[in-house]
Chains A and B, each alone.
Chain A
């Protein structure tokens, strides 16, 4: 036991420790505390983690290969199965990637509508993650409070696109339909009510002695290591690096809005919690501003090659019928080229590397999934800590199995 040092600069099993009685503990693939299907085989010295070996890929669905046989508009449905806690961000990320390839400039109304939806998705993503940190540390109450709010966000999605979890929201070039008055009303009510709930939630956990003891200095990572490991999103910002795609490479008119990017100092579980909590407040502000300043305009751009024409026109106008047929059968011209486009997903930089050879489908499509990149730092973050701390570290990293495995 005395050879095992607690702390970040921990050691692997050293040759002189080979005769020690380490035990092996299997965590996952299906385990209530992993919140997803992935496995960790932990080498334990009593209660202390010596090392862990991760196995992922249990729900790998070969999206990159599937995408090579699908027309662009059909790939939207693949993307919302990646980070299913905030699927509209994935959808809109993919649509903006295609718009970048096509050179389509969307109008302000579409941009603001997208911001509203993406920020709602971010709120729901962070709510789930933060309340689950509470659950894993033994505080179930907050989880029940905020899940009602997530339900309301899902009702807003439902009102906009008809689906709740796998949304397939939006189209290349805009939206399939405009926000109805009932959508606007629902968002207003939601945003008006949310601060009260978030405050309640924060009162439960933020300065709670037990919660702070369980999370401060647990699963920490330095800014330098985090950058080396390719961390993005709240996990990187908790370590003190203010990188946010929304501010660095503004897409969708994010530069019209004033919002702050919260950063932490230690990069530990508590900082990740606080950063996500503050981002929820920023998102509320963004949704409010975007909704107040929602400009007039059309809810889709004129992209006849990709945006399906009005159904009424398909029945009555020859040109619309031709376009409809061409889009559905995949006969439209796609420019040759390659683009990398990224959006700030719930977990960080969600990138799409799209290579088009002018064919009907992408020649190659690679998703840069933030979870996949930073989950590999997990062994380094939990070495030397207790098993119960590793569970908290994992839930605060918000590893979503769908995004991990694509």
Chain B
């Protein structure tokens, strides 16, 4: 299946849901609105043969209005094609439909994303922290939590990037 074919069949089905298409990246990338993400992925799985969920992870862009994102990597094994689907949500309402009904693999990946970014996956069977301790009261991979202890006065890191 050619790249153009994937784009046109997705475009036909989800004309209003697709926010942008990026063909310049290493993998064909779609950004879709969060309400449609399970439908898009189910369509990719059932109709276009992307039956393998390679990866699911979160990302945080604090400057955007929709700051929290989830990035899905899907793989069509027989044709060896990869596709990347992104969706974004706001920090105040970080709710996205779960993929666990479609891929069992999404279970822990979504728990990890919740653990680090606080993205709530609606319909997830067991959405609790997975790598961090239960009583952690923040989501550590969000950009507002700097790595080093900010109360320290003896270190000046201004010249060394972030």
Contacts and interface: CB of A to CB of B under 8 A. Distances in A.
A68 B162 contact: yes
Contacts of A360: 160-162
A227 B52 contact: yes
A373 B162 contact: no
Main secondary structure of the interface of A (DSSP, over half): mixed
Contacts of B148: 69
A339 B24 CA distance: 11
B54 A339 contact: no
Interface of A: 56-57, 60, 62, 64-66, 68-69, 100, 225, 227-230, 241, 243, 248-249, 329-330, 337-342, 349, 351, 353, 355, 359-361, 364, 366, 368, 372-377, 405-406
Contact of B160 (A227, A330, A339, A375): A330
B130 A57 contact: yes
Contacts, number: 99
Interface in B115-138: 116, 130-133
A325 B73 CA distance: 37
Nearest to B129: A57
Given A225-B104, A360-B162, A405 B26 contact: no
B89 to A, nearest CB: 16
Contacts of A340: 26-27, 54-55, 73, 82, 84
Interface stretch (B2-10, B11-19, B33-41, B105-113): B105-113
A340 B73 CA distance: 9
15 contacts: A57-B131, A62-B140, A100-B26, A228-B104, A249-B80, A330-B161, A337-B25, A338-B25, A340-B27, A349-B54, A351-B54, A351-B73, A360-B161, A374-B105, A377-B104
Given A60-B131, A100-B26, A241-B77, A376 B105 contact: yes
Interface in B147-162: 147-148, 159-162
B140 A248 contact: no
Given A229-B104, A248-B80, A355-B59, A361 B147 contact: no
B51 A227 contact: yes
Contacts of B66: none
A341 B159 CA distance: 31
A351 B131 CA distance: 19
Contacts of A225: 104
Contacts of A243: 77
Contacts of B112: 372
Q: 7 closest A-B pairs (Cβ-Cβ)?
A: A230-B105, A360-B161, A57-B131, A366-B57, A60-B131, A368-B55, A376-B108
A338 B69 CA distance: 14
Given A230-B105, A376-B104, A376-B108, A57 B54 contact: no
A69 B116 CA distance: 16
Contact of B147 (A66, A349, A366): A66
B103 A230 contact: yes
Contacts of A249: 80
Nearest to A364: B59
B53 interface: yes
Contact of A228 (B105, B108, B116): B105
A405 B105 contact: no
B105 A373 contact: yes
Point out which of A225, A230, A353 has the most chain B C-beta atoms below 10 A from its C-beta: A230
